[in-house]
Structure 1
Amino acid sequence: MSEHAIEFLRGWIGEKVHCQHSPVKIEKQAETLAKECAAKAAEVGIPLEDIQEEVGDIQELIASRLEEAAEADQSNENSGKTSE
């Protein structure tokens, strides 16, 4: 994958992928965000195939990042409660 495609994907995920607590919401949001990502990549001239060649299914990648964000948020909430 080109460096341009890698930079695009990292920046896009950093901007768009935020915490969701419900697994159902994560899957639904991942599907929506994957479509948005593919459309935005096409707008800037990056074929979806270039991204998927490197990372596989972008919906799965986004769902994974959403789950990580939810876990991190939950950890932050739990550590905040224990220090109160």
Structure 2
Amino acid sequence: MSEHAIEFLRGWIGEKVHCQSQHKIDQQAETLARECAAKAAEVGIPLEDIQEEVGDIQELIASRLEEAAEADEHQQAAGKAAK
């Protein structure tokens, strides 16, 4: 994957992928994957270039959403324990 495509993907995920409730992750990942593909096309990055490196973009985004949700749960639990 080109350096341009890598930087695009990192920036886009950092901007768009935020904590979601666990039950909405699949739906949110599907929506974000479509948005990412459209934005990549706008800046001249073929989706194939991204998928060549990371595989299924929707699965990657779902994974990042799950990580964010788990981190938020741990942070909330730590906050409650500190009280």
For the superposition of Structure 1 and Structure 2, which TM-score range results when normalised by the shorter chain?
over 0.9
For 1:1-84, what aligned pairs fall within 5 Å after superposition? 1-23=1-23, 25-84=24-83
Gaps of 5+ in 1: none
CA RMSD of aligned residues (A): 0.5
| Cα-to-partner distance string for 1:47-80 (whole Å, 9 max, x where unaligned) | 0000000000000000000000000000000000
Q: Distance in 2 between matches of 1:22 and 1:62?
A: 13
Secondary structure, aligned partner of 1:18: coil
Displacement over 4 Å in runs of 4+: none
Identity %: 82
**CA distances 1:14-52 after superposition (whole Å, capped 9, x unpaired):** 0000111233x1000000000000000000000000000
In 1, Cα distance between equivalents of 2:68 and 2:22: 12
